[in-house]
Amino acid sequence: MPAPQIENLVIIGSGPAAWTAAIYAARASLDPLVFEGETVGTDLPGGQLMLTTDIENFPGFPEPISGPALMERMKEQALRYGVRVVTELVVEADLGVAPVRLTPSYGAPVLAHAVIIATGASAKWIGLENELRLATTGGGVSACAVCDGALPFYRNRVLAVVGGGDTAMEEALYLTKFASEVLIIHRRDSFRASKAMASRVLRHPKVRVLWNTRVTDVLGDGEITGLRLADTNTGEEREVEVGGLFVAIGHHPNTGFLKGQLETTPQGYLVVTSGRTATAVPGVFAAGDVIDDYYRQAITSAGTGCMAALEAERYLAHNGIGESPVVETAETAPPTVA
């Protein structure tokens, strides 16, 4: 059996960080290979933006653009520069060898001198069938209030937030700018959030908290119309009308295939050099939501994708791999035109 081809750079992922890294790497003549992943439940090639109907805050688009359309345009731009794409997951990685060895879902293992991990993070869902269906069809269920809450669809409606941590508090406060009322649904009788955040929420005139309550069903066909709720103490059920549901019970970084080979934060996000994208393993970089538990925005992911590609290019050039950047000298600089 012939030995696997050794790639200069492999990018794992297909969200804003991955496609931005691919564009920069391709323009630097690194001939990157992208593993864009496969559809697994609500995890789709393209990342979390594939569940976003309209994006109004990505620079360069005066009119709203859907999440899938934005991801398709990023991918098309990468393909224009010759980026090669494999629609498979990377299910295993051996970072203890050089070159790094990556094993995809079906194909032969791939070796790489440098790797950018941009696998993102997945939202934690309640797990209800209609919740997931409406989340994937743009029917008023979301896991990101900052991404979706300002859309006309949600304005002046009763909106529900599920959760009790700081993220849920932040989402609820953000939604008060647009909603007629915000319901926070929490299964306990107190928040896990910091006292300062919880106090701000509880004082807000537009916020109402439903304590000791869990969501047992999401109602609506084409779009959400309400929720079926159950009291966690008595089991008694009731229904409430809402025009939107925001699930804020956390995210989990998509790093399982690494099997603990890279350092992570207590929340599971990859640790990189401060202000950079390099991990502790030479030649392995990380970008996007897989390193970010704070901003989680498309534009910040794209920015770290750019950073990772530049760092990977410099790493490869330093090791004599790939095409080194041209440095102008007196001999190579273009002539001055008077």
User: Coil, strand, or helix at residue 125?
Assistant: coil
Q: Of 113, 91, 102, 83, whose CA–CA distance to 20 is shortest?
A: 83
Residue pair 23/45 in contact (Cβ under 8 Å)? The answer is: no
Distance CA 241, CA 257 (A): 41
Burial class of residue 247 in the structure, from the number of CB atoms within 10 Å of its CB (0-12 exposed, 13-18 middle, 19+ buried): buried
Residue type for 23, please?
I
Which among 31, 54, 94, 148 is annotated as catalytic? 148
144 is catalytic: yes
Residue 166 and residue 178: Cα distance in Å, rounded? 20
Q: Is 306 a catalytic residue?
A: no
Q: Which of 18, 46, 45, 51 is nearest to 34 (CA)?
A: 18
- Compute the distance between CA of residue 102 and CA of residue 93 in angstroms, rounded to an integer: 5
SS3 call for 289 = helix
Catalytic residue among 147, 289, 292, 306: 147
CB 105 within 8 A of CB 91: yes
Q: Which residues are catalytic?
A: 144, 147-148
